[in-house]
Structure 1
Amino acid sequence: MNIALDMMGGDFAPLEAVKGVQLFYSQSQQQVNLILIGDEQKINPLLSEYKIASENIKVVHAAQVIEMHEHPTKALKEKQQSSIAIGFHLLSTGKVDAFISAGNTGAMMVGALFSIKAIEGVLRPTIGGYLPKENGNLSLLVDVGLNSDCKPENLNQFAVLGSLFAKHILNTPDPRVALVNLGEEEGKGNLLTQSAYSFLKENHQINFVGNAEGRDLLKDKADVYVCDGFTGNVILKFAESIYDIVQNRKIEDEHFNRFNFEIYGGVPVLGVNKPVIIGHGISHAKAFDNMIKMAKKMLDENLIDKMRSSFAG
């Protein structure tokens, strides 16, 4: 199993990525080979400093970095020797099985869509975010920003992709799917949610439980919440602000502590042909460790093959 990690992505690169690698291997994950992509003159001294001398590690030099402010498509085209471009080249040519980066989100999405492409039958891939429930479990919100404008068919496919992720990665046996709406009753909402409800209701691949209002999202109404990316991104950023306020006010609460994104690592791109995980720009060691673990689990569970089967025919 070969997992590529962009060492230059994020505000604290490459130090926190190196510390994340150290944390990962400290837990005896020796069956995983990590391909570390970035400036070897910066990476190698840190590997020595943190005493990471594993035969399972290979450093691939990248002379360029795609910065956060750069235009994704232009940067990928002009910076062929960047860590993100090299990572997707390795992924598309089969030299690695998964790719992780906390770098330019747009470049990661463009790279995923144009190098490894969407699974056949998937109209639009999606990205999911996590919502900690009050009961201690975790739900998945899809989409959280990739597709700001959607058709009902898109939401229907997001539900299938989200359900498979919740079942095989979040260990939810029979994930309940709800449509984010402004009322519980069938027929509520705008044209998109009204039409999407009909699709979801007839979809036998999912366990659809109806509409969910905003007040339901942190409770146990469902395990997968489906919405367009505009709505999902607003919800996700609002959840992040809750964590920031709790931290600023020095409030210790078990539930609100679980709003810390580092616990989960990054968000998966669902609906593309290989595992791609995007981390937050301010990721620290714990987040990188958890992103590697997520990539490993996606590979262990053959999640992409299960997604392909769901969209076959």
Structure 2
Amino acid sequence: MSKISLSSNDLPIEHVAETSADINIAIDIMGGDRGPHVFLYAVENILQKHPKVNLTLCGDDKSKKLFASCLANNRVKYEVCEQIVNMSDKPTMAIRSKKQSSMRKALELTKCKEVDACVSSGNTGALMATAYYVLKTLPGITRPALATLLPTQNNSRVLLLDLGASISYDAESLYQYALMGSILMQECQLVEQPRVALLNVGEEEIKGHSLVKHADLLIRSSDTINYIGYVEGDDIFAGKSDVVVTDGFTGNVALKASEGIASFLSNEIKTVCTQSFFSRVLSKLAMPLFKSLYQRMNPDQYNGASLLGLRSIVVKSHGNASPEACYFAVEQAIMEVKQSVPTKIKAKIEQELMEH
């Protein structure tokens, strides 16, 4: 079986020179749990920080007034959309019955090249299915992958994928995820030779089921991927690798479990720090340490999962994202446009096809 068959966070913006051409981003402002107003902070700060970035906001007529101050800027447009994809909508319903939705409009603008990328905090399943339907995958990519950056113990970052773009998978899909993840880390995080690992129930070669073992052989045979073998779940945040590859079901469970642990620890620290007068005094003395830790672990800066493998750039913002988190999702889309991520993935795939 051939490895390929034809068919984000606070990214390091300061390391990338501003391009001479304008960058155009479409934002679906309607899909999140908190309402469209959470994108106001992102729009205002993107306009201030990036003088060559233009924004197209896709939302209903009622929400337009929330962005009145931004719309006074000629770099901001507003597309009035008649429908909204709700969190409860099934992916098939979003595709068939919500053709006039803000999500669909943002993707259609991307397909027609009116914008370079789109950002949405809407229904994850609907976004992935609609993006797959409207934009299609790159030649050689069978399934897109949802990828996000996470913090590690050595102050670096690790890219975890897939997070649920596709629950069904095969060994070739895992190989493609490894290739795409490696390219994203190399181009957007400036890691020269990203260390790629495959998530497994053990590091030994005998561990794991047949699909994982087959994927291990495919990835290992690539000259493009700096593959280091298997890692276990507790290694994701250890800094052993730059990219961790797994299937969508496992990746989604791993991500949600880590989010739950982070929330649990945060609440426990708050409880302990307020239990007594003595603990309150100690917490004030330790406040600089807590602030430093929070700045590194702040989940807002890791918001924005990239939907890799599509012909255009799509970034998924968390449905419950804060205004600051929405800003980082848009920043990630800008970074991927600057680095022409789909074009570079396509070039690497074509190179792999020629070599194999």
Match of 2:315 among 268, 273, 277: 277
User: SS at 1:241's partner residue?
Assistant: helix
User: SS at 1:58's partner residue?
Assistant: strand
Larger mean CA deviation between 65-74 and 268-277 belongs to 65-74
Partner of 1:196: 215
Partner of 2:285: none
Larger fraction in helix:
2
Answer yes or no: is the 8 Å Cα contact 1:132–1:255 preserved in 2. Answer: no
Answer yes or no: is the 8 Å Cα contact 2:95–2:126 preserved in 1. Answer: yes
Partner of 1:261: 299
Match of 1:34 among 47, 50, 55: 55
Alignment partners' CA distance in 1, 2:31 and 2:93: 17
Q: Give the C-alpha shift of residue 129 in structure 1.
A: 2.5
> Which residue identity is paired with 2:253?
V
Q: Say if 1:124 and 1:62 are closer, same or farther in 2 by CA, change over 3 A.
A: same
For structure 1, list consecutive stretches of 5 or more residues without a partner in the other structure: none
Q: Give the C-alpha shift of residue 255 in structure 1.
A: 5.0
Alignment partners' CA distance in 2, 1:3 and 1:63: 20
Answer yes or no: is the 8 Å Cα contact 2:43–2:70 preserved in 1. Answer: no
Q: Give the C-alpha shift of residue 76 in structure 1.
A: 2.8
The within-5 A match list for 1:76-155 is 76-155=95-174
Alignment partners' CA distance in 2, 1:273 and 1:12: 30
Alignment partners' CA distance in 2, 1:111 and 1:214: 31
User: SS at 2:150's partner residue?
Assistant: strand
Q: Give the C-alpha shift of residue 131 in structure 1.
A: 2.4
Larger mean CA deviation between 51-60 and 110-119 belongs to 51-60
Q: Are 1:161 and 2:191 matched, yes or no?
A: no
Answer yes or no: is the 8 Å Cα contact 2:188–2:336 preserved in 1. Answer: yes
Partner of 1:299: 337
Deviations 1:39-62 (A, max 9, x none): 23322x2223x5663211001101
Question: For this pair of structures, how many residues does the alignment match?
Answer: 310
Alignment partners' CA distance in 1, 2:295 and 2:161: 22
Partner of 2:5: none
Answer yes or no: is the 8 Å Cα contact 2:157–2:239 preserved in 1. Answer: no
Deviations 1:187-226 (A, max 9, x none): 3211111111111111111000111112211112110011
For structure 2, list consecutive stretches of 5 or more residues without a partner in the other structure: 1-22, 271-289
Partner of 1:2: 24
Q: Give the C-alpha shift of residue 166 in structure 1.
A: 0.8
Match of 2:66 among 46, 49, 52: 46
User: SS at 2:79's partner residue?
Assistant: strand
Answer yes or no: is the 8 Å Cα contact 2:307–2:315 preserved in 1. Answer: yes
Q: Say if 1:255 and 1:213 are closer, same or farther in 2 by CA, change over 3 A.
A: farther
Q: Are 1:172 and 2:210 matched, yes or no?
A: no
> Which residue identity is paired with 2:56?
I
Q: Percent identity?
A: 34
Q: Say if 1:255 and 1:185 are closer, same or farther in 2 by CA, change over 3 A.
A: farther
> Which residue identity is paired with 2:158?
S
Q: Give the C-alpha shift of residue 118 in structure 1.
A: 0.3
Partner of 1:230: 249
User: SS at 2:345's partner residue?
Assistant: helix
Q: Say if 1:51 and 1:159 are closer, same or farther in 2 by CA, change over 3 A.
A: closer
Alignment partners' CA distance in 2, 1:256 and 1:144: 24
Alignment partners' CA distance in 2, 1:284 and 1:65: 20
Answer yes or no: is the 8 Å Cα contact 2:195–2:242 preserved in 1. Answer: yes
> Which residue identity is paired with 2:236?
L
User: SS at 1:99's partner residue?
Assistant: strand
Q: Are 1:23 and 2:42 matched, yes or no?
A: no
Match of 1:205 among 224, 239, 248: 224
Alignment partners' CA distance in 2, 1:99 and 1:63: 19
Alignment partners' CA distance in 2, 1:186 and 1:170: 30
Answer yes or no: is the 8 Å Cα contact 1:66–1:75 preserved in 2. Answer: yes
Q: Give the C-alpha shift of residue 275 in structure 1.
A: 0.3
Partner of 2:80: 61
Q: Give the C-alpha shift of residue 246 in structure 1.
A: 2.4
Alignment partners' CA distance in 2, 1:289 and 1:226: 26
User: What TM-score, normalized by structure 2, do the two folds share?
Assistant: 0.83
Q: Give the C-alpha shift of residue 280 in structure 1.
A: 0.8
Partner of 2:3: none
> Which residue identity is paired with 1:299?
V
> Which residue identity is paired with 1:41?
K
Alignment partners' CA distance in 1, 2:249 and 2:199: 12
Q: Give the C-alpha shift of residue 292 in structure 1.
A: 1.3
